[in-house]
Amino acid sequence: MAEYILQMKDIDKTFPGAAVLDHVCLDVRQGEIMGLIGENGAGKSTLLKILTGLYTRTSGTILFKGREVAYASIEESADDGIAFMHQELNIFPNMTVTENIFLNRKDYVGKFGMIQKKRMEEDARRVLETLGVEIDVNRMGSELSIHEQQMVEIAKAMSMNAELIIMDEPTAALPENEVEIFFQFIRKLNSRGITIIYVSHKMVEIEAICDRVTILRNGTVVDVVNVGETTVEQMVNKMVGRQLDEYYVHTPTKNDGVLLRVSDFNGENFEQVSFELMKSEVLGIYGLAGSGTLELAETLFGYRKPTGGRVTLNGQAIKKTDIPNMVKNGIAYVPLNRKKDGFVRDMSVFENISMAGCGSCRKGIFVDWAKNREICDKYMEALSIKAVSRDTHVNLLSGGNQQKVVLSKWLSIHPKVLILNEPTRGVDVGAKAEIYNLIDRLVKTEELGILLISSEAPEVLGMTDRVMIMHKGRICATLKTEGLQQERLLKLASGGKEEQSEERQEIT
C-alpha cells in the first residue's frame, strides 16, 4: 500500500448555529488521484479550506507528509507544497504569463527592490517546458484561453514545488472538446508523482480520471470507494442518500405555434441568426467556445446591443431590445455567471426573488410587501430552496440553491420566454435533477418557451426538443434531438460537414 501523503483525521467544524463537518477523515495516498464528491453544502469546500489554512478547524488532526500541520494561511500551505486550483481561475488579465506565475514571489526581488525580470522569464519558460506547454511567457493574461489559464495556474503550482494539487471543478468553464486534453495533462502530472485531489460534480469525469473517491454527505464521510469496483449510479446514490429517478426527464411536447421568431439577427461574434421557438418547447443552443452562443443569449436579453435583425414575440415586433423592455415583454434570462450577474450576494433570498417583480405587486402606489413575501415563500417551496429562512443572505447558500433563487426571481414575473445559460453549471447531481424536473414541468404546465444554452452535450440531447448548432457565429444546423447522436452533434459544432438529409434543416 502506498504511503499516505495526507491524512485528515476526525475533522470537526462548527460555525455559529451550525455543525458543518462531523469527524471527517480524508486519507490520500502518495501519487494517486483522489476524487472528492458530495452535494452542494456537503462540506467539501469547508474541508479543503481547513486543509489549506483558509479556515481553522474546531477539532481534529492533519498530517502532511507525516508531519502534523496547522496552516495559518493559504500562502503557508502553498510554501509547504499544497496548491489550490480554484474553479474561478486567479489569472490577472493585465499581467504577463511570467508575472502571473511568480506573483508575490519575494525570491525574485533583487537589490534595491528591483524585480529580476529576465530570471523570472527564464524560469517561467523552464517550468512551462517541463510541463510540455507552449505558451509565450510575455503574453498577457487577457489573451489566454481558459485551457491556457489552467496551464499557467498549474505552472504556478509547479514553480513552488507543489506535491499535492487540489483541483476544484477544473473543467467547469472548459469546452467539451478540451476536457480530454486536460485529462491527458493531469495524467502526465500524476505520472511524475504529483498527488491530486479532484473535486467535481461531473460524475463521468470522476469515473474517467480518479483512482479512489471519498463521498461526503451532510458533513460526514459515507464511503471511500475504488473507481474500478463501483458504478456512477452507486456513487450518486451514496452521495445524495436516495435513489435518483431517471436523470433526463424531458419528453417531447406538442408545440402550439410560434412563440418567438428571430430573423437575420446580428451582433458581437454572431451574424445572420434566424430561428423560431415554439410554445411549450425546449430549444437547445449548442456550440464550442467562441461559437457565439454566449453573445447571442446576452443580446437576446438586452445585455448587448444588436447590430441588425428582427425579434417578434407572439407575432408582435419588439422594437427596443434593452433589458427593461425585454422583461416588460416577458423575456427572462438566467445568466452564465450567477455570482456576478444573477443575484446580489449581500441581499436576502426574499430581496433577490422579489427584485424582478416587486414593482408589479402594489397596493395603490405602494409596494405590497406582504404579497411579495407570499410569492417568495411560494417559490422557495416549489423549488425546494434550502435556506434557514427567506431572510438568509444568498451568499450563504450552496450553488444549487443560489441557482434556484435566480430561477425563482424570473419565474415570479411569469415570463413567456426563459433563456437559460448553462443552468446546471457548478451544481451537484441532486440539484441538477431538480432543475431538469423544473424545466420539464414549466414547458408542460406554464406553456412558456425555453432556450437552453449548454456546453454539455448529454444535457442538450436529454433535455431539449430541438437543438441549434452554432459554429463561428452562425447557425450551421437545427436538428430534432430525438435519436441524435452525441458524435454527430460534436462534429457539426466543430465545423464538420455532412450530407443533406430530410431530417436536417440547414440555416444560412
pLDDT at 37: 93
Residue 505 has pLDDT above 70, yes or no: no
Q: Is 302 helix (H, G, I), strand (E, B) or coil?
A: coil
* CATH topology for the 4-91+144-242 domain: Rossmann fold (3.40.50)
Q: Which three cell numbers stand for residue 464?
A: 431539449
Report how far residue 218's alpha carbon sits from residue 458's, in angstroms, rounded to the nearest whole number. 28
pLDDT at 1: 43
Q: Which of 17-26, 236-245, 319-328, 387-396 has the lowest mean pLDDT?
A: 236-245
Domains 4-91+144-242 and 257-494 share a fold: yes
Per-residue model confidence as pLDDT tens digits over 489-498: 888 988 877 6
Binned at pLDDT 50, 70 and 90, residue 503 comes out as very low
Name the percent of the chain lying above pLDDT 90.
50
Report how far residue 441's alpha carbon sits from residue 464's, in angstroms, rounded to the nearest whole number. 13
DSSP state for residue 453 in the 8-state scheme? E
Mean pLDDT over all residues of the chain? 88
Question: Listing from the earlier edge strand, what are the strands of the sheet with 4-15?
Answer: 18-29, 4-15, 59-64, 67-68
Binned at pLDDT 50, 70 and 90, residue 358 comes out as low
> Which of residues 154 and 398 earns the better pLDDT score?
154
Residue 86 has pLDDT above 90, yes or no: no
Binned at pLDDT 50, 70 and 90, residue 507 comes out as very low
Amino acid at 150: Q
Average the pLDDT over 81-89 and give the result.
85
pLDDT at 332: 94
Per-residue model confidence as pLDDT tens digits over 181-222: 889 889 988 998 999 999 988 888 999 999 999 999 989 999
- Strands (DSSP E) along 352-465, which ranges? 362-363, 366-367, 417-421, 449-453
Report how far residue 409's alpha carbon sits from residue 415's, in angstroms, rounded to the nearest whole number. 11
365 contact partners, CB below 8 Å, separation of at least 6: none
Binned at pLDDT 50, 70 and 90, residue 99 comes out as very high
Q: Which CATH superfamily does the domain covering 257-494 fall into?
A: P-loop containing nucleotide triphosphate hydrolases (3.40.50.300)
Residue ranges covered by each domain of the chain: 4-91+144-242, 257-494
Contact call for residues 13 and 21 (beta carbons, < 8 A): yes
Average the pLDDT over 230-248 and give the result.
78
Residue 142 has pLDDT above 50, yes or no: yes
Average the pLDDT over 373-394 and give the result.
89
Residue 146 has pLDDT above 90, yes or no: no
Annotate 83-119 with b (16+ C-beta within 10 A) or e (fewer): bbbebebebeeeebbbbbbbeeeeeeeeeeeeeeeee
182, 274, 295: which is closest to 508 by C-alpha?
A: 274
> Is residue 456 exposed (0-12), middle (13-18) or buried (19+ Cβ within 10 Å)?
middle
Residue 44 has pLDDT above 50, yes or no: yes
Residue 225 has pLDDT above 90, yes or no: yes
Question: Other C-beta atoms within 10 Å of 66: how many?
Answer: 9
What distance, in Å, lies between the first and last C-alpha atoms of the chain?
60
| DSSP H or E run through 267 | strand 258-267
Residue 78 has pLDDT above 60, yes or no: yes
> Which of residues 215 and 239 earns the better pLDDT score?
215
Per-residue model confidence as pLDDT tens digits over 286-315: 998 788 999 999 999 999 999 999 999 999
Amino acid at 295: E
